[in-house]
Structure 1
Amino acid sequence: MIVLYFIIAVVMTAMVIGLYQKNTNIICKSKKRLDGKTAIVTGGTSGMGLRIATDFADRGARVIVACPFVDEGTRGRKFIVDKTGNEEVIFKLLDLGSTASTRKFAADIIKTEKRLDILINNAGVGAVEEFTTKDGLNFTMQVNYFGQFLLTLLLLPLLRKTGSSLEPSRIVNTSSVLHKIGSVNFEKINCSNYWYPIQLYANSKLCLVLFTRELAKKLQNLNRNNVVVNAVDPGAVGTTIFSSSTKYFGSFLTFLFAVLFKTPWEGAQTAIHVALDKKAGLVSGELFKNCRLSQAKQTAYDEELAHKLWEESKKVIGLYEEEYEQCFQVLK
């Protein structure tokens, strides 16, 4: 009987929180057009990423959607084109769980694209079964953090070339409210079968916030600072990220979160706001939630920790010094 009461209490609490979130969810109101602009959305073929990419395409942008699955990528591109009528939607393969794939993708973008106005680091995995990638990294940490760290730095020269002081290029990193329970343990940062899956996910999202703040700091120290970077907490969203769990349980969680909390479209609004809103483009290194400036976990403001994580990340992904220095150059 006690267990029954507990379950009822949990369900009632979830319903109250969900109702509050539904009624207070803010929608991006920017009318900004993106004609002549180019945006990359990782994980842009499903969930929130698909809604972000569709929004950008509807505003006239050239949109590059990236994911590691050909079938999903092809379907995602078709959905966006059919929905918006914009044929300038390109699907490219990108597996953030592979440094080789990440480097290949970035090199292709640098070679073929003339500009990059917006980079949405949206791709991620949930609480999955842990394993070590071919790069010797924990899969969750590589996809959710290390891969995005590498991709962002490799694309930085094109972002810097495109941005201006009046209209900087924008990087948006998708974190999570769970970053608040995240931690950084450098001895165990890349371990498999040490953390609980949910804790590992939270750790990766805290790392993204720390990365956001450290990158903003480094960009501000450049003579030509024309890129802003911010993180977003989309809230509790019913997306296919729950498919990382068992098939039926994952589908149930996706449905439950979409009904009680946010749909993927609702969850996409803060990222869209940070990518487009004029005032959001005036700040860098911050966290946004519900289309407003928010406060991250206090640990995220530890500058020494952020710097140490940055240096450790360079080593983990094998970013050698000459290559690293090139990341902060401006493409001609």
Structure 2
Amino acid sequence: MDRSEAGYRASREKRPFCGALCTRTKSQATAADRQSLLIPKWSSDVRLDGKTAIVTGANTGIGKETAKDLAARGARVILACRDMAKGEQAARDIMREVSCAKVVARHLDLADTKSICQFAENIYNTEKALHYLINNAGVALCAFATTVDGFETQFGVNHLGHFFLTFLLLDLLKHSAPSRVITLSSIAHIMGRIQFDDLAVENNYHPARAYAQSKLANVLFTRELAKRTEGVTAYSVDPGTVNTEITRHIGWPMAEIIQMFSGLLKTSAEGAYTTIYCVVTPENELTNGGHYKDCAYSKGCRAGRDDGTALKLWAASCHLLGIRWR
């Protein structure tokens, strides 16, 4: 058995994931059962009582399922959401489905550095510890647009927003050590290339190319972060091909094609498995700075293991954000 899987059970049994899966409609259950034939179910009974976690983009999809699972394990979970109405509804949903859940929604807009600063300040004012920062939020395949600060939206939200958030919360993470930063990437990272001469991808912009670049940036950020922090470990995660709202910007006909094959995609709960795996697996069974997929270490692509590019991206990100992070 691979060392990163030691102590855990993989099976194809159709059982709830640690008691944190929500009740599904008949059609949703049928789709999930079909997917269960292809995806080994992983489970762990590790408790997280006394731990605090932040999950960005936790109002829906993988983020919401991740937050629900952490809450079911006893953790205090902060749902960091751009849309507070949806965030508060997600918190109510989780508290209804998980007895004694400790969850709260807080506003965070990753497309606005001022909002990120305000969120971090709120965390320092209200939280004594932070053990898990899960950089889950993301946008995908959207038409060209820019963030409040003028960055291309996908690069700005998916990479720079989380880079800046991690920078601001790092002192609290260190104070709470051992702690972890888990950043969600995508299979799309293997098609990515960091265009240092055009990080905004303004020249000949293509949504898929910009998305792939942002997801490769997630992997490279994780790799470099792991080298720079003591007591804080970092992991990047490929959740797999999941039927979530992240592709809401996709136009016709691709949206119709995705809908046709939605039954073959992972459910959001299944998409959260590897994130949870990286939260609860003992540190000595994980590779700091490593990339994980399907609850196991994954080599990913060669570009994602390029230390020179990771270092250059780190410097470029600091320059764009106007920060010094040694």
The aligned runs of 1:42-57 (5 Å cut-off) are 42-57=56-71
**Structure with more contact order per residue of length (Cα contacts < 8 Å, sep ≥ 6):** 1
CA gap 1:208/1:37 in 2 versus in 1, 3 angstroms: same
Aligned to 2:23: none
Aligned to 2:277: 273
CA gap 1:257/1:41 in 2 versus in 1, 3 angstroms: farther
Q: Provide the C-alpha distance between the structure 1 equivalents of 2:75 and 2:97, rounded to a whole number of angstroms.
A: 14
Q: 1:262 aligns with which of 262, 266, 282?
A: 266
Matched length: 295
CA gap 1:60/1:314 in 2 versus in 1, 3 angstroms: same
Q: 1:187 aligns with which of 167, 182, 197?
A: 197
Q: CA deviation at 1:24?
A: 3.8
Q: 1:303 aligns with which of 284, 307, 323?
A: 307
CA gap 1:256/1:155 in 2 versus in 1, 3 angstroms: farther
Q: CA deviation at 1:193?
A: 5.8
CA gap 1:260/1:303 in 2 versus in 1, 3 angstroms: same
Q: Percent identity?
A: 39
Aligned to 1:78: 92
Aligned to 2:37: 23
User: Are 1:106 and 2:120 counterparts?
Assistant: yes
Stretch deviating more after TM superposition (137-146 or 189-198)? 189-198
The aligned runs of 1:277-296 (5 Å cut-off) are 277-278=281-282, 282-296=286-300
Q: 2:220 aligns with which of 186, 207, 210?
A: 210
Q: What letter is aligned with 1:39?
A: A
Whether the 8 Å CA contact 1:242–1:254 is kept in 2: the answer is no
Whether the 8 Å CA contact 1:40–1:65 is kept in 2: the answer is yes
Q: CA deviation at 1:280?
A: 6.6
Q: Secondary structure at the residue paired with 1:244?
A: coil
Whether the 8 Å CA contact 2:235–2:288 is kept in 1: the answer is yes
Q: CA deviation at 1:277?
A: 1.2
Stretch deviating more after TM superposition (30-39 or 281-290)? 281-290
Q: What letter is aligned with 2:268?
A: P
Q: Provide the C-alpha distance between the structure 2 equivalents of 1:290 and 1:209, rounded to a whole number of angstroms.
A: 16
Q: Secondary structure at the residue paired with 1:259?
A: helix
Whether the 8 Å CA contact 2:34–2:263 is kept in 1: the answer is no
Whether the 8 Å CA contact 1:240–1:254 is kept in 2: the answer is no
Q: Secondary structure at the residue paired with 1:74?
A: helix
Whether the 8 Å CA contact 2:54–2:77 is kept in 1: the answer is yes
Q: What letter is aligned with 1:23?
A: L
Note the alpha carbon deviations across 1:253-283, whole angstroms, 9 max, x for none.
6644541121111111000101111257642
CA gap 1:25/1:157 in 2 versus in 1, 3 angstroms: same
Aligned to 1:226: 231
The aligned runs of 1:5-44 (5 Å cut-off) are 22-44=36-58
Q: Secondary structure at the residue paired with 1:96?
A: coil
Q: Secondary structure at the residue paired with 1:28?
A: strand
User: Are 1:135 and 2:139 counterparts?
Assistant: no
TM-score, with normalisation over the residues of structure 1?
Answer: 0.84
CA gap 1:126/1:303 in 2 versus in 1, 3 angstroms: same
Q: 2:249 aligns with which of 231, 244, 249?
A: 244
Note the alpha carbon deviations across 1:52-90, whole angstroms, 9 max, x for none.
000011111110001110221121111111110234211
Q: CA deviation at 1:296?
A: 1.5
Q: Provide the C-alpha distance between the structure 2 equivalents of 1:268 and 1:262, rounded to a whole number of angstroms.
A: 10
Q: Provide the C-alpha distance between the structure 1 equivalents of 2:206 and 2:52, rounded to a whole number of angstroms.
A: 38
CA gap 1:31/1:87 in 2 versus in 1, 3 angstroms: closer
Q: CA deviation at 1:247?
A: 8.9
TM-score, with normalisation over the residues of structure 2?
Answer: 0.85
Return the structure number with greater helix share.
Answer: 1
Gaps of 5+ in 2: 1-31
Q: Secondary structure at the residue paired with 2:42?
A: coil
The aligned runs of 1:61-72 (5 Å cut-off) are 61-72=75-86
Q: 1:94 aligns with which of 108, 111, 116?
A: 108
CA gap 1:257/1:273 in 2 versus in 1, 3 angstroms: farther
Q: What letter is aligned with 1:307?
A: L
Q: CA deviation at 1:19?
A: 10
Aligned to 1:315: 319
Structure 1 moving runs of 4+ over 6 Å: 18-21
Whether the 8 Å CA contact 1:130–1:193 is kept in 2: the answer is no
Whether the 8 Å CA contact 1:216–1:284 is kept in 2: the answer is yes
Q: What letter is aligned with 1:173?
A: T
Q: CA deviation at 1:249?
A: 6.4
